[in-house]
């Protein structure tokens, strides 16, 4: 009988240790990392060249870099389904592709070129600059509250982009001009801007326009009441902005003046 109890105790401790060893870093917003560049499936630290932040769950593509995002069902250490491609200057957050508690895995890869530029796949391991793989978990909620009773306040929030349109080389200000979107917040840009800095933390961000086109700024936040952890699920609101290409100055050549 003693041997039986010893076996049960040993099995329980083994399973507990197995879960502890194979559980990756848990970010503040919830879920768990299953694979991080630099530490692999231990997933307790990110250590690669690409700009990825495991605390906020995002990767940002610098000039010449491209992001590929994949989403799969269940807890995976690698995912290659539902591909989304984002260009230079863009930022991808894992929580934008799966909500906490949805039992999804999101993988973000950063490459030093557009791997789909020729129609097929043209990248290999030498082009990969970094990656993060995150599992959303199954219990719902997350480190930042995520309660189901409080509703989002998108109707109260107003966003402005100044100037809009702008020109390549301008500094653009992205502002929350009404409502409260300042808790558990982040910005996501579809492209066009770089070198973003906070001028009024939580309310105003300034970025440099670096390429022409029409892009989207998405503000993501949680509506909290009374306590920083008594919050809604993620809320989001988007506005478009346009960056114009600077044209060379117009040179007018006048006919020569003839005098008599």
Q: Does residue 65 contact residue 50 with C-beta atoms inside 8 Å?
A: yes
Percent of the chain at pLDDT > 70 equals: 83
Helix (H) or strand (E) holding 215: strand 213-224
User: What is the pLDDT at residue 143?
Assistant: 38
Residue 141: per-residue pLDDT = 40
Mention the CATH class of domain 154-244.
mainly beta
pLDDT of residue 48: 96
Find the mean pLDDT for residues 209-234: 87
Q: What is the mean pLDDT of residues 17-39?
A: 76
Q: pLDDT at position 238, please?
A: 93
Of the listed ranges 20-24, 87-91, 122-126, 137-141, the one predicted with least confidence: 20-24
pLDDT at position 40, please? 94
Tens digits of per-residue pLDDT, 128-173? 999 999 998 885 443 333 334 578 888 889 999 999 999 999 999 9
Q: Is 196 left (phi over 0), alpha (psi -120 to 50) or beta?
A: beta
Q: State the average pLDDT over residues 218-247.
A: 86
pLDDT at 125: 93
What CA–CA distance (Å, rounded) separates 44 from 143?
17
* pLDDT confidence band for 249 (50 / 70 / 90): low
- The mean pLDDT value for 2-29 works out to 52
Q: Where in the chain is the domain with CATH 2.60.40.10?
A: 154-244
pLDDT, the chain, mean: 84
What single-letter DSSP state applies at residue 30?
Answer: S
Mean pLDDT calculated for residue range 75-83: 93
Where does the pLDDT of residue 69 fall: very low under 50, low under 70, confident under 90, or very high at 90 and above?
Answer: very high
- Lowest-confidence segment of 7-21, 86-100, 182-196 by average pLDDT: 7-21
């Amino acid at each position: 009988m003693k041997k039986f109890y010893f076996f049960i105790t040993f099995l329980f401790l083994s399973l507990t240790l197995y879960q502890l060893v194979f559980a990756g870093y848990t970010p503040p917003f919830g879920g768990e990392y299953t694979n991080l560049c630099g530490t692999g499936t231990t997933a307790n630290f990110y250590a690669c060249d690409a700009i990825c932040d495991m605390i906020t769950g995002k990767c940002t593509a610098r000039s010449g870099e491209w992001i590929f995002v994949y989403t799969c069902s269940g807890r995976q250490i690698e995912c290659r389904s539902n591909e989304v491609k984002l260009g230079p200057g863009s930022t991808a957050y894992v929580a934008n592709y799966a909500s906490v508690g949805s039992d999804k895995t999101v993988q973000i890869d950063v490459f030093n070129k557009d791997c789909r530029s020729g129609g097929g796949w043209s990248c290999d391991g030498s082009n990969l600059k970094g990656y993060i793989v995150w599992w959303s978990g199954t219990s719902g909620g997350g480190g930042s509250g995520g309660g189901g009773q409080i509703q989002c306040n998108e109707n109260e929030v107003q966003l402005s982009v100044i100037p809009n349109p702008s020109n390549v080389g301008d500094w653009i200000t992205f502002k929350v001009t009404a409502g409260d979107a300042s808790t558990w917040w982040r910005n996501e840009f579809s492209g066009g801007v770089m070198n973003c800095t906070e001028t009024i933390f939580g309310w105003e961000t300034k970025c440099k326009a670096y390429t022409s086109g029409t892009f989207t700024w998405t503000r993501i936040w949680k509506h909290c009441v009374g306590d920083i952890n008594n919050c809604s699920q993620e809320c989001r609101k988007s506005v478009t902005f346009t960056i114009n290409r600077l044209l060379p100055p117009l040179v007018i050549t006048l006919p020569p003046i003839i005098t008599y």
